[in-house]
Structure 1
Amino acid sequence: MLHSLAKESNSKAVTTAARVGIGGPVGSGKTALIEALIPELQARGIDFAVVTNDLVTKEDAERLRRSGLIEPARVSAVEAGACPHTVIREDPSLNIAAGDDLEARFPGLELILFESGGDNLASTFSLDLVDWWMFVIDVAGGDDIPRKRGPGLLRSDLLIVNKTDLAPYVGVNLSSMLEEANAVRKGHPVIATNARSGEGIKAVVDAIAAAVLFHTASGS
């Protein structure tokens, strides 16, 4: 059952925030994607918060807190202290607790974004932690990424191909890369984005809203 759906507790209906994961290799643009998503989520009136994961720092959380885009208290940080897979897949208890704490501090929260620490194509999210998750790759990583068919690329609910503007500079045929990504994912969605310019960001929020929220996909 989605976290966003009403649940029965002591004969009283309660709601909890939908939990959405964002994973992908180091440097693929996960934090930049969140920075681009924040204004669009706010424009649609979605009440949200963010949990970041890093190996032994809180760098991504501090970046978001300093951005001026989001209330700093709405950003929590988890330090994995080990392989980033551990806290989003094998034992997500630290992230679950961070999400629960945000919900306790912000009643009415509708959505929590969980950003994984940068990892490789094998990164996946436990469905004990998230309801739905997306995986971010970037064109600078090479147009052969779709052909490598890692679990993150194949199993995510949404694949994001980021940094589309870099394709001409790194010798990547973007159209071919997107065609191959769509082919290996066999109908599961793929969205091309440029987080810096905002390309594709509305489509990403549409996908989140359609999957886990009670908001219309168009944001109307």
Structure 2
Amino acid sequence: MHLDHSLPSLPHQHTSAGHIRPDGSRRALRIGLGGPVGSGKTASVAALCRTLRDRWSIAVVTNDIYTREDAEYLRREAVLPPERITAVETGACPHTAIRDDISANLEAVEQLEDALHPLDLVLVESGGDNLTATFSKGLVDAQIFVIDVASGDDIPRKGGPGITTADLLLVNKTDLAPHVGADLATMAADAKRQRGALPVIFTSLTSDEGIREVADWVTAHLSRWRAEAAV
């Protein structure tokens, strides 16, 4: 359910790392998924993999503080072959490894590219963080920030970098709105005020169909990424 009425064809992309690998080949598009604990980041990654894996060559890097639980979940669900899923144990606040010292995540991405080349897409999932979580432009080319209705319909109004600057804001668990007293129209209006023209998608990931609009958004990015790399 897309409630902000205007989904631009493509928001801006971060291209500081360039499209080309050191060997001259095209590198994968990197998309980061961040958001609070329990918002649905891993469910979003799983659904994207299941929806896009027959068309694109995909790999995933997950981040947890002291475990590899999210990567293990994705492997158990068989969303991709196990060699396409790897994990980073950050050992510190999750935002540190995606924004401040990105070396472990960069190494994980580059190892996947070396082993599985050519890749089209690498999804980098942050550990659960707060509304300040953002990815370094040196790590990912676009960012999806995931929040959920059950955390309160005031979350978009509170703002923070994740809400205001992510290339896509995904509001998950809309099916719970009647049960938690959340007003989706209010959330949509608040998100619009915070984000301007940047897109917002409201959905429920209780089935993979709920990821369809997000998958279309990713596919649009991938198509442009490949076209730009070919120039």
Q: TM-score, normalised by structure 1?
A: 0.91
Partner residue, 1:193: 203
* Correspondence list, 1:60-79, <5 A: 60-79=70-89
Root-mean-square deviation (Å):
1.8
Deviation at 1:195, TM superposition (A): 1.3
Question: 1:119 aligned to 2:141?
Answer: no
Deviates more, 1:200-209 or 1:13-22: 200-209
Deviation at 1:198, TM superposition (A): 3.1
* Correspondence list, 1:155-194, <5 A: 155-194=165-204
**Structure 2 unmatched ranges of 5 or more:** 1-14, 227-231
Question: 1:5 aligned to 2:19?
Answer: yes
State how far apart, in whole Å, the 2-side matches of 1:188 and 1:92 are.
Answer: 25
Deviation at 1:206, TM superposition (A): 1.4
Question: 1:52 aligned to 2:62?
Answer: yes
> 1:36 pairs with 41, 47, 51, which one?
47
Q: Secondary structure at the match of 1:20?
A: strand
**Share of identical aligned residues, percent?**
51
Partner residue, 2:107: 97
State how far apart, in whole Å, the 2-side matches of 1:167 and 1:198 are.
Answer: 19
State how far apart, in whole Å, the 1-side matches of 2:120 and 2:84 are.
Answer: 12
Deviation at 1:213, TM superposition (A): 3.6
Q: Secondary structure at the match of 2:53?
A: helix
Question: 1:23 aligned to 2:34?
Answer: yes
Q: Secondary structure at the match of 2:169?
A: strand
The one-letter amino acid of 1:94's match is A
Deviation at 1:4, TM superposition (A): 7.5
State how far apart, in whole Å, the 1-side matches of 2:85 and 2:59 are.
Answer: 6
**Structure 1 unmatched ranges of 5 or more:** none
Deviates more, 1:64-73 or 1:111-120: 64-73
Q: Secondary structure at the match of 2:147?
A: strand
Provide Cα deviations, 1:162-182, integer angstroms capped at 9, x if missing partner.
011000000001122112112
- Higher RCO structure (Cα 8 Å, ≥6 apart): 2
Aligned residues: 212
The one-letter amino acid of 1:27's match is G
Deviation at 1:211, TM superposition (A): 2.4
Q: TM-score, normalised by structure 2?
A: 0.87
The one-letter amino acid of 1:25's match is P
State how far apart, in whole Å, the 1-side matches of 2:30 and 2:144 are.
Answer: 11
The one-letter amino acid of 2:19's match is L
Q: Secondary structure at the match of 1:195?
A: coil
Deviation at 1:157, TM superposition (A): 0.4
Deviation at 1:69, TM superposition (A): 2.0
Deviates more, 1:184-193 or 1:205-214: 205-214
The one-letter amino acid of 1:70's match is L
CA contact (8 A) 2:53 2:80 kept: no
Question: 1:147 aligned to 2:154?
Answer: no
